Amino acid sequence: MSHIATILLLGSGELGREFVVSAKRLGARVIADDAPAMQVADAREVFSMLDGAALRTVAEKHRPDLIVPEIEAIRTEVLAELEAEGFAVVPSARSAQLTMNRDAIRDLAAGELGLATSRYRYAESIEEVRAAAGFTGFPCVIKPVMSSSGKGQSTVRDAGELDAAWDHAVAGMRGDRTRVIVEAFVDFDYEITLLTVSHAGGISFCPPIGHRQERGDYQESWQPAPMSAAAIASAQDMARTVVEALKGDGRGWGLFGVEFFVKGDEVVFSELSPRPHDTGMVTLASQNLSEFDLHARAILGLPVPAAIRARPAASAVILADRESDRLGYSGLAEALAEDGTDLRIFGKPTSRPYRRMGVALATAGDVDEARRKARDAAAKVRIDYGA
């Protein structure tokens, strides 16, 4: 055998592609689907992740050592069946089931674990949205229980905006559940992602990552984000609690992206992804072991450092502004001219307005300067439509 493990990657976008690179560097064989990750994988399988029969067929065909979900919209009941039959699901089928929908992970965090969260209600019709907003008050945030990259999310300031927010949420939903979460707007100073690694040696934390969003999707991130010692301790305690709860019967090893709102020393749990996080792209520049390296090490049972450090760094996204299936890129030389800058072009075959097509990375002596350099580099990259 010329590899240490066979990995079936379910969902293979830009995060999946970086994970494939990290896994293959460690000697793994990776099967990916028809997306950016298949450009660097050993084999490809094209099928809908919501087609349970197709998912089972692919798993039984390749008999992978590890099944690694990279998106939320998957037939998680099939993953649970496969796990019960002896397949290893990363980090566990329970994790995939509880994080596929925002309602399940929120109920676990707030209900079972007692973590601090915003006030919230669920709704499956515009009438229920109005009732939920009456409970949370205004402003409130409305988003689908299943979506990706902030699709379908709106901040609503008064009752007159509820109908439009409901329509926007329905249009941005993934999967087959017409359900939203309506939550009270949290008055926060900033928000962070705390990358939490569950591995054979225990649990490790990356330095906190700050990020800025628009339309519910991240635009830039930076690390390390300044936080008080009390706030960091609170976030790590909550992250550890929820990650331990998600392990299920399996090993539960892998990297988790845990999001928090922070105001002073107060920390409020927001969301969790049981896989590398888009805001964590900054770790490609900030850490000696990126989030993708750490995820690969953890799931393969390899050592992960107990203490993970980060140099000041930032990422800034490169967005499309129109639909096209003929794409080229220019301005790369200008973007890379300043020392300490780098680029990742994702190689997506099509674009649409606000679709993330790449990211600029930068390091500097401090986070503010890194953010400036990353923004400047991203602005210099031009997408050439019709190329």
CATH number, domain of 78, equals 3.40.50.20
Burial code (b: 16+ CB inside 10 Å, e: under 16) for 313-334 equals bbbbbbbbeeebeebebebeee
> Same domain for 197 and 256?
yes
Q: Strand pairing partners for 38?
A: none
> Same domain for 140 and 195?
no
- Record the tokens describing residue 200, joined without a space: 């054979």
Strands (E), the chain: 6-10, 29-32, 43-44, 66-69, 120-123, 140-144, 154-156, 180-184, 190-199, 202-205, 209-214, 217-223, 254-263, 266-273, 313-319, 327-330, 341-345, 356-363, 382-385
Has this prediction a pTM greater than 0.85?
yes
pLDDT 10s digit of each residue in the chain, 387 long? Answer: 567 999 999 988 999 999 999 999 999 999 998 778 989 999 999 998 889 999 999 999 999 999 999 887 788 899 999 999 999 999 999 888 888 777 889 999 999 999 999 999 999 999 999 999 999 999 999 999 887 666 788 999 999 999 999 999 998 887 667 899 999 999 999 999 999 999 999 999 999 999 999 887 899 999 999 999 999 999 999 999 999 999 866 689 999 999 999 999 999 999 999 999 999 999 999 999 999 999 999 999 999 999 999 999 999 999 999 999 999 999 999 999 999 999 999 999 999 999 999 999 999 999 999 999 999 999 999 999 987
> Same domain for 334 and 243?
yes
Which active-site residues does the annotation give?
148, 150, 259, 271, 278-279, 356
Residues of the domain holding 202: 190-385
> Same domain for 194 and 244?
yes
What is the per-residue pLDDT across 150-177, written as a single tens digit (0 to 9) for each?
678 899 999 999 999 999 999 888 766 7
In a domain, 379, yes or no: yes
In the 8-state DSSP scheme, what is residue 349? S
What is the per-residue pLDDT across 46-100, written as a single tens digit (0 to 9) for each?
998 889 999 999 999 999 999 999 887 788 899 999 999 999 999 999 888 888 7
- Record the tokens describing residue 365, joined without a space: 């002596």
> Same domain for 270 and 356?
yes
> Same domain for 219 and 343?
yes
- Residue ending a domain, among 137, 158, 184, is 184
> Same domain for 12 and 138?
no
Q: What is the CATH number of the domain that holds 294?
A: 3.30.470.20
In a domain, 361, yes or no: yes
In a domain, 343, yes or no: yes
